Chain A
Amino acid sequence: MSERHTDLATSSEDLGPLLDSIDLMYETGWTDGLPVVPPTRERVKQFTDALAPRDPGEVIASIPPLGGEATIERVAVNAVMAGCLPEYMPVIVAAIKAMVDDRFNLRGVQCSTGIHTPLVIVNGPIAKKLNINSGYNCFGQGWRANATIGRAVKLVLVNLGGAFPGETNKSTFGHPGSYTYCMAEAEDASPWEPYHVELGYAAEDSTVTVFPAEAPHNVMYHAANSRNFLTVLADTMCTLGNVQMYVMGSTCVVLGPEHARMLSEDRWVKRDIKTFLFEHARKPVGLLRRGGPPVGDSQRSHLWPRFVDPDDDNQMVPVVRRPEDIHIFVAGGAGGPHSAYLPGWGSRMVTEKIQEA
């Protein structure tokens, strides 16, 4: 763990310059509306040192739409501002690298009129090491790592990507997660292999997964029938207003520990769950047409799976093109009969291995 500041101010007068510098940071236009930690050269160096021997000038990515170069040092500046600890840097750098993967379509994510924002999900040993919350309130407040890793990513996207609201960021409503949106998978509470192991990584590896997600939509189910629960979940996934029904891409299910245990005890594995949801989270073409698809009828078929005839009102359209486009995580607190569905935006979920120094 990094060295902590021990020379605390002895009187409120000593805090004056610090408060002035926080106010000054507002004047720069580089904050998200909340106070930030002033990124002094000395503090930033602690963060770049966390990735030594990598050069602070190393360019991780060019961030669209503006194309600002995210060097390690500039990422560190934004991480300091977010209130991170230096040891969070490998996670933030990996998340940024994942977001510029073409499958993620970061330019579109940054500029769209939609209501999504990148969600960061951490797997592997680093999640415990950094105390990234995966349990009660995992999408909410209370954990420094969740709050500040997610915030650092968002500050990078705005300050280096230039996605200013109303200018190049055309999001109609924005998203509370535009301040921060980060959690870990509750691997100990999961009856199945962790998400990153499912992808082929070793259990000892740590990974970060990014996904342009809407807000979590609660799926309540108090009874004890796995098939009925999955039917409820599938119904939640395929609402007419869900952009996913028209643009496909990846989609995200977060099973609460109680639901995951129920499914596992009934011998459901992730593959079967995905197949069930793919088969049942569907709406007929005729009904979807009322939803006002974003592209004309003659062009829709290139987004829906080829087996769907867009001219047949009775054909059933799945929420995604393939079962494997449904990504399942386990997280949340014990005791609650809740899971969450997070609609996507048409692009792909991307995972990157975290390179620890």
Chain B
Amino acid sequence: MVNTPSTGIQEQLQRWDILAANDPTANSQWNEAPRLSSLHGKTGGFLGNRKDNANPLLLAVRELLDKQFELSDSVVMDKFIYSRPAADNIVDALSERCDFVVTAIAD
């Protein structure tokens, strides 16, 4: 998220004609996915990052959610390189088939 100073600080910056070091519009390109009222009976996506420790955790989360919310289906996919975003075709497939997606990050 953009680090936005408080209104008081911004007013002081303006008084001294000090310019912003960030891009205040950067947040606007990121939108949260619509929040679901419940996970019951939904289709869940599970995006792995191909790391040995992260993927078992992801699959355990899938099992837990399935048990607790009786998912109608789950889609498990892996991205090719853990340090890069998933390819467009993977994102498209998940957004087309799933009501929500859980992603594995880090190690």
Contact = CB atoms under 8 A, between A and B. Distances in A.
Interface of A: 21, 24-25, 27-30, 38-42, 44, 66-70, 73-74, 77-78, 81, 105, 107-108, 111-113, 155, 159-160, 162, 164, 167, 170, 293-296, 299, 346-347
Contact of B83 (A25, A74, A105): A105
A149 B3 CA distance: 22
B107 A108 contact: no
B26 A30 contact: no
Given A21-B16, A21-B18, A296 B83 contact: no
Contacts of B20: 30, 74, 77
B84 interface: yes
B23 A39 contact: no
Interface residues of B, number: 31
Interface of B: 1-3, 5-6, 9, 12-13, 16-23, 25-27, 29-30, 50-52, 82-85, 105-107
Contacts, number: 104
Given A41-B18, A69-B25, A170-B105, 13 more contacts: A24-B16, A28-B3, A28-B9, A29-B3, A30-B22, A40-B17, A66-B23, A67-B30, A107-B83, A113-B106, A113-B107, A162-B26, A296-B52
Nearest to B85: A107
A30 B20 CA distance: 9
Nearest to A74: B23
B2 A162 contact: yes
Given A77-B20, A77-B21, A295-B50, A67 B29 contact: yes
Contacts of A295: 50-52, 82
B1 A294 contact: no
Contacts of B105: 170
Contact of A38 (B16, B23, B107): B16
Contacts of A29: 3, 5
Contacts of B5: 27-29
Contacts of B1: 66, 162, 167
